[in-house]
Amino acid sequence: MTFQTPTPFQAPSGGAPVTFARAELGVILSLYGRMVAAGEWRDYGISHLRDAAVFSVFRRTAETPLYRIEKRPHLRARQGQYAVIGLDGRVLRRGGDLRTVLRVLERKLIRAIE
């Protein structure tokens, strides 16, 4: 009689999912708080995938996201790992520094006073 030792379950090789660091979340949530105070945004969602971390911003809960802030580390050397993507899927800004990439959204806070 031959005994075979059981093979342990192995998770698919792909590594851990991409996540936002605490400092990155601080920058993003700071902008989010200002936009909520201005009445522009009302809800958000965070997704941690194998190749990207996504922070989605919603005007209302049941809608598609207005903006997606994505972190894709494998694009770090090419186009920059951060991107802001609009409602229609266009890349509004891409770069290596999160604060400069998020400036495209801060322009929405500036309004003319009459």
* Model confidence pLDDT, tens digit, residues 43-74: 999 999 899 999 999 987 677 889 999 998 88
pLDDT higher than 60, residue 12: no
* Model confidence pLDDT, tens digit, residues 84-114: 999 888 999 999 899 999 999 887 666 655 6
Q: What is the pTM of this model?
A: 0.79
For 40-77, letters b (16+ CB in 10 Å) and e give: ebebbeeeeeeebbbbbbbbeeeeebbbbbbbbeebee
Domain layout of the chain by residue ranges = 22-109
Rg (CA), the chain: 19
pLDDT higher than 80, residue 5: no
Indicate the pLDDT class of residue 83, thresholds 50, 70 and 90.
very high
